Structure 1
Amino acid sequence: VPMKKNDAPKIESAQKIPPEGDRTLEDPKKKNGSPGTKVLTALICLAVLTYFGVQIYNAYADPLISAVAYSYQVEDTVSVTGFLVRDELVLEDSGGGLLRLTRSEGERVSAGGRVAQIYSDQASLDRQMEIDKLQTQLDQLNYASEAASASEAALQLDSQIAERLVSMRRAVTSDRLDTASDSVKELEALVLRRDYTYTDAEELKAQTADIQSKLSALKAQSAGSSRKVTAPKAGLYSAVVDGYETVLTPQMLETLTPSVLSNLKPSGVSSDLGKLVLGDTWYYAATLSAADAKEIDEGSTETLRFAKGVDRDLNVTVQSISAEENGRVTVIFRGRTYLAQLTLLRQQSADVVLSSVSGIRVPQQAIRVNENGVTGVYCVVGVEARFKPVKVVWSDDNEYALVRGEGVDATALRPGDQVILSAGGLEDGAVVSYTG
């Protein structure tokens, strides 16, 4: 049966199916979060924000501020300038020749002891210097020969060399070049001695015999070519003569006034031989204002600190205070110690320490009075604030104070403790967040 054109069968278009890889499956339960999850998330965020907010507020509103407590000393001093006075004897020698000193600065010399050697000519002096050099080498060889163990001797010498280096550095730092020069000589001798320690025994004997032979010949040649200068009295030797030896004497101190002291001039006395400092007492004459001198009493013991030359404080006695002259007085201090270190000093600046207080330095802001009326400071101990009672021994009323710990064991304030200056909710046992 023929079909009509309009009677053709209708074929519905097939549904388009996506490829396998483009298919997605959605869980309708995860498409929108549940109300419980949203609430929990909001609570966590709120807690985090609250925590950081509290920390920021505490940091800016009432932060923990601390400082280190440390040992300190406060002194009441008066700065002065004066002259050192000693009983001194200038050595004189009328003979000519080449002078060689045999004593070091500040060395004690007995009566009749040699202080210098005078040689007739340069050849005699050179011969003596060669004798001294050979004698030093002979001493080193004898030491090496008598050493029981080379290794033990070397270790001992290493220690002595290190000590001598420290002594030399200390002498240079304190401007005692005379002492430094002696240290250099001793150091050279120690180094030579150490070099000989590992030398063969037979070689040591041969070198010793050779040096002894040379020494004998040189000593025979030098006989009668020099003469020695001896000390007429016992005392400390000093190579420096500055002209004040006859101007400043212990006998004229009782009548010394500020005007006389300020107009002192050295005499023309000089000597290449040096001088002797007699006795064990020295004096320091200084001019002070009458107001400062009121804090000093005759016969009292004071502390004198020289600006240079001596690296320690000296205990002195106030021997006398002159009458006032134009608002100033002359004070005579008397000392009996460390004279050997003062032989090179004459006009010298110094501090007179009238009083001193020692304690633990803390800021004024750290000192508090607790509920029981006890004065103390709070310290950071671990993560807690601990109250430590103290006694204030000095205060400047502004910045800091000196205190002493009143507690025992763990409650006592000690140098190095972290004292609290500012913190919120400060009380004994309170937990603090210490960050430095």
Structure 2
Amino acid sequence: MKQGRFYTTLILWIFLAAVVCYFGYAVFNTIYAPLTTATAIEYEAGTGSYTTGYVVRDESVIRSSYGITSLLVSEGERVARGQAVATGYRDESAQDRQAELEQLEQQLQQLTYASSYSADAADQAVLDSEISTRLTEMSRYLARGDLNSLSDGSAALKGLILRRMSSEAENQALDQQIEALRAQIEALQADASYDTTVVAAGKSGYFSGAVDGYESVLTADRLSTITAAELEAIQPADPPEDAVGRLIAGNTWYYVTTVPVSQLEGVETGDTVPVTFASQFYDSIPMTVERLGQEQSGNRILVLSCDRYLQSVTLLRQQSADVVFSSYAGLRVPKEAIRVNEAGEAGVYILEGSNAVWKTVNILHDNGESYVVELDKSSVNHLWPGDDIIVTGRDLYDGKVVR
């Protein structure tokens, strides 16, 4: 009987010791090998170069021999061959005359519009309806910010109002006013022919009011031969004193820069690379690799081209840009979390409930402190966004209870 109690007590002590050892081991693991996790998130990384270079276009300088020039077109506007881009004045009196001439021409337009209505159309109800319609149209132009249409419609509206407020006798006086205005305008135009001229575009293209001296130094043709050393030493010429702007032909523009040879590994002519400029654009622009020059002092010339957005880059010249040569999209995984199983496969353990579960991964890119691994949504057995990746843990294996 006593011997049976002894064995029972011994078994209880052994069981108690096992329980104490288990909890002691668990506490030890918790203290000295804590379980830490990181969430798998979608991530995109790339290899490339942050560099400074030049925007190059097919440019020609527009010149005027007159002392005062007033532009007629806006920055980046598309102009046709022969279209007036500016007005040149020999002196301030010629400029003042032009302002007076434009004011008289606007008055003539209003009076002519008012006079064009017949006696039947002069009926108050008809005119009131027409004025109401015009006001509605102009409110729409104003709401959407269409200032050109608003300006064009204002003359017609003023003419209608003049006609509405005029009597038959006043209408006859209106015709006399029109004749007097025409005579006045003709006289001013005759005087302007001696000291006022129109500056026209020699060919079609995009207009820019900036001239910086690179137009003749850094041309599109030169990009096929320029070296890294020549680009680093390039200096602008003195802009002509009579320059009023430049005309940009075609639709293609270029970005030329020097890049370390080590960053161009695998890059070939014809590749498409995203480029993000430090100013003007918030999104990346797809550009084509046109040329890779020979190595000079560890650098190579890189020429990129684009046939879009030309009207938005007319003012850009020396620009810093982030050029991405290779891009990798997938899931970001801490390097400490990557393990290799007995089959030699790379993978991670994730936390599912209280268990560690093995997930094989395909490493795409080394991003320094982390890897970009492939996001494969073809099966739930792969690593997915939102999974809790076990970063640190001791003696992990597939199915192990870790919590």
**Normalization by structure 1: what TM-score?**
0.60
Deviation, 1:237, is 1.0
Aligned partners of 2:159, 2:52: CA distance in 1, in Å?
A: 57
Partner of 1:321: 293
Partner of 1:209: 161
Q: Secondary structure at the match of 1:112?
A: coil
Q: Secondary structure at the match of 1:121?
A: helix
- Decide which of 79, 93, 106 is 2:64's aligned counterpart: 93
Deviations 1:351-399 (A, max 9, x none): 4433222221111222234577654323334565444332222236x73
- Decide which of 386, 400, 406 is 2:370's aligned counterpart: 400
- Decide which of 200, 222, 230 is 2:200's aligned counterpart: 230
Aligned partners of 1:141, 1:131: CA distance in 2, in Å?
A: 25
Aligned partners of 2:222, 2:370: CA distance in 1, in Å?
A: 47
Matches for 1:26-105 after TM superposition, within 5 Å:
59-97=30-68, 99-105=69-75
Matches for 1:36-185 after TM superposition, within 5 Å:
59-97=30-68, 99-118=69-88, 120-122=94-96, 124-125=98-99, 145-146=136-137, 157=143
- Cα RMSD after superposing both structures: 4.7
Query: Would the alpha carbon gap of residues 70 and 346 (structure 1) be closer, same or farther in structure 2, given more than 3 Å must change?
Result: same
Aligned partners of 1:374, 1:326: CA distance in 2, in Å?
A: 42
Q: Secondary structure at the match of 1:252?
A: helix
Aligned partners of 1:348, 1:212: CA distance in 2, in Å?
A: 58
Query: Would the alpha carbon gap of residues 50 and 336 (structure 1) be closer, same or farther in structure 2, given more than 3 Å must change?
Result: same
Partner of 1:24: none
What is the number of residues matched between the two proteins? 331
Query: Would the alpha carbon gap of residues 210 and 319 (structure 1) be closer, same or farther in structure 2, given more than 3 Å must change?
Result: farther
Deviation, 1:53, is 8.3
What residue identity is the alignment partner of 2:381? T
- Decide which of 335, 339, 344 is 1:368's aligned counterpart: 339
What residue identity is the alignment partner of 2:312? Q
Aligned partners of 1:212, 1:389: CA distance in 2, in Å?
A: 84
What residue identity is the alignment partner of 1:418? D
Task: Tell me if 1:342 matches 2:309.
Answer: no
Q: Secondary structure at the match of 2:362?
A: strand
Task: Note the residue ranges of structure 1 that are not aligned, 5 or more in a row.
Answer: 1-48, 161-185, 194-204
Deviations 1:182-217 (A, max 9, x none): xxxx49899x99xxxxxxxxxxx899726999xx99
On the 8 A contact 1:389/1:405 being kept in 2, the answer is no
Task: Tell me if 1:287 matches 2:280.
Answer: no
Aligned partners of 1:412, 1:131: CA distance in 2, in Å?
A: 75
On the 8 A contact 1:102/1:116 being kept in 2, the answer is yes
Q: Secondary structure at the match of 1:361?
A: strand
Query: Would the alpha carbon gap of residues 92 and 373 (structure 1) be closer, same or farther in structure 2, given more than 3 Å must change?
Result: closer
Aligned partners of 1:66, 1:335: CA distance in 2, in Å?
A: 45
Deviations 1:229-274 (A, max 9, x none): 3322110111101111112222333342334333333222335531
Deviation, 1:61, is 4.2
On the 8 A contact 2:207/2:248 being kept in 1, the answer is yes
Query: Would the alpha carbon gap of residues 239 and 56 (structure 1) be closer, same or farther in structure 2, given more than 3 Å must change?
Result: same
Q: Secondary structure at the match of 2:347?
A: strand
What residue identity is the alignment partner of 1:277? I
Deviation, 1:403, is 1.0
On the 8 A contact 1:74/1:358 being kept in 2, the answer is yes
Identity percentage of aligned residues: 33
Q: Secondary structure at the match of 1:355?
A: strand
Partner of 1:278: 249
Deviation, 1:315, is 1.5
Aligned partners of 2:62, 2:88: CA distance in 1, in Å?
A: 14
Q: Secondary structure at the match of 1:266?
A: coil
Partner of 1:46: none
Task: Tell me if 1:261 matches 2:231.
Answer: yes
What residue identity is the alignment partner of 1:209? I
- Decide which of 226, 240, 245 is 2:210's aligned counterpart: 240
Query: Would the alpha carbon gap of residues 317 and 389 (structure 1) be closer, same or farther in structure 2, given more than 3 Å must change?
Result: same
Query: Would the alpha carbon gap of residues 189 and 386 (structure 1) be closer, same or farther in structure 2, given more than 3 Å must change?
Result: farther
Partner of 1:378: 349
Deviation, 1:127, is 7.8
Aligned partners of 1:255, 1:403: CA distance in 2, in Å?
A: 41
Query: Would the alpha carbon gap of residues 407 and 101 (structure 1) be closer, same or farther in structure 2, given more than 3 Å must change?
Result: closer
Aligned partners of 1:209, 1:391: CA distance in 2, in Å?
A: 76
On the 8 A contact 1:254/1:320 being kept in 2, the answer is no
On the 8 A contact 1:378/1:420 being kept in 2, the answer is yes
What residue identity is the alignment partner of 1:400? S
- Decide which of 381, 384, 397 is 1:411's aligned counterpart: 381
Deviations 1:305-331 (A, max 9, x none): 433333323322233524x55555434
Q: Secondary structure at the match of 1:411?
A: coil
Deviations 1:36-76 (A, max 9, x none): xxxxxxxxxxxxx9999898656424433111222223322
| Range 405-414 or range 66-75, more displaced | 405-414
Partner of 2:330: 359
Query: Would the alpha carbon gap of residues 212 and 113 (structure 1) be closer, same or farther in structure 2, given more than 3 Å must change?
Result: farther
- Decide which of 265, 277, 280 is 1:306's aligned counterpart: 277
Larger radius of gyration: 1
Aligned partners of 2:73, 2:208: CA distance in 1, in Å?
A: 8
Q: Secondary structure at the match of 2:374?
A: strand
Q: Secondary structure at the match of 1:316?
A: strand
What residue identity is the alignment partner of 2:211? V
Deviation, 1:280, is 1.7
Aligned partners of 1:403, 1:60: CA distance in 2, in Å?
A: 31
